[in-house]
Structure 1
Amino acid sequence: MAISEEQLRRMAQQLPDVSRDPQAVRTRVEAMEKVLERAFVIPGIKQPVGLDALVGMIPVVGDIVTAIMGAYIVWEARNLGMSKWQITRMAANVGIDTALGAIPLAGDVFDFFWRSNTRNLRIIRKHLDKHHPGTRTIEG
């Protein structure tokens, strides 16, 4: 059964926004950073922690999974047309997080404090605020 162009267009409109629109990119990157770095709060010490630190405790596989998720943020930055220098800094943040996070025990502690995705979000926000000021959001 063939799908007409009109049916395909309607189906595409129903899909979530995966465009390169700066506002859509900001929303996706902020959501990914929250999941990776601040999804939960540890009771007692009130320290936010995300999947990066939790999944990173699983040897090898956890570090690979969180590296791929962190690389997604860098990919989104590339789609925004950010400079090679910014992309390199962001890739280095993910690389440091992955390399040092892979060290048993010490890497888990490092993951708890080194928030590469938060650093990368800061770089993206600075770029968006300068080049696409209409995407700014009020943080509370």
Structure 2
Amino acid sequence: MAKTTRMASTTLPLGRHAQDVRRRIEMMEHLLERSIPIPGLKSKVGLDAVLGLVPVGGDVIAALLGLYIVWEARNLNMPKTTMARMIGNVGFDWLIGLVPVVGDAADFVFKSNSRNLKLIKRHLDKHHPGTSTVDHS
């Protein structure tokens, strides 16, 4: 059985099984892209957008957190072409984030971590169908 740790009322799986990896990636994507509700709107932003408000350093930290998702994908033996696309998503998000104002606005539109999660889910659904879950979002 995989080890787990308690984290803000959710369980973070620490195992190497594809289902554990999928859950960790989903949790990271949620944290980076849609964990903070915007008052008065039905939209949410994540840590990626908040970090983007800090010039240069915030974008670097957000990109490193996004690369964690790519690293987990590597552990799933995803195809190199898909991983290159994922790195491109993170790189584009980082590059556009370096542009003042434009980069901050782009975080609401271009969600590289959500795009990467979709690529990983597609791979997992094809190669590890037992990891599929019902999406509640």
Report if TM-score (shorter chain) is over 0.5: yes
- Greater per-residue strand proportion: 2
Give CA deviations for 1:38-92 in whole Å, capped at 9, x if unaligned: 0012122211100001111100110010000000000000000000011000000
Q: Do the aligned residues in 1 keep the contact of 2:3 with 2:14 (CA within 8 Å)? A: no
Consecutive aligned runs of 4 or more in structure 1 exceeding 3 Å deviation:
13-19
Q: CA deviation at 1:14?
A: 5.8
Q: Do the aligned residues in 1 keep the contact of 2:3 with 2:15 (CA within 8 Å)? A: no
Identical columns (%): 52
- Greater per-residue helix proportion: 1
* Count of residue pairs the alignment pairs up: 128
Which protein is bigger by CA-based radius of gyration? 1
2:39 to 22, 31, 43: 43
Relative contact order, higher structure (CA 8 A, sep 6+): 1
In structure 2, stretches of 5+ residues that fail to align are 6-12
Backbone CA RMSD of aligned residues: 1.4
User: d(CA) in 2 for partners of 1:34 and 1:18?
Assistant: 17
Give the secondary structure class of the aligned counterpart of 2:124.
helix
2:109 is the counterpart of 1:129: no
Specify the code of the residue in structure 1 equivalent to 2:129. P
2:64 is the counterpart of 1:68: yes
Specify the code of the residue in structure 1 equivalent to 2:37. V
Q: Tell me the equivalent position of 1:92.
A: 88
Give the secondary structure class of the aligned counterpart of 1:107.
helix
In structure 1, stretches of 5+ residues that fail to align are 1-12
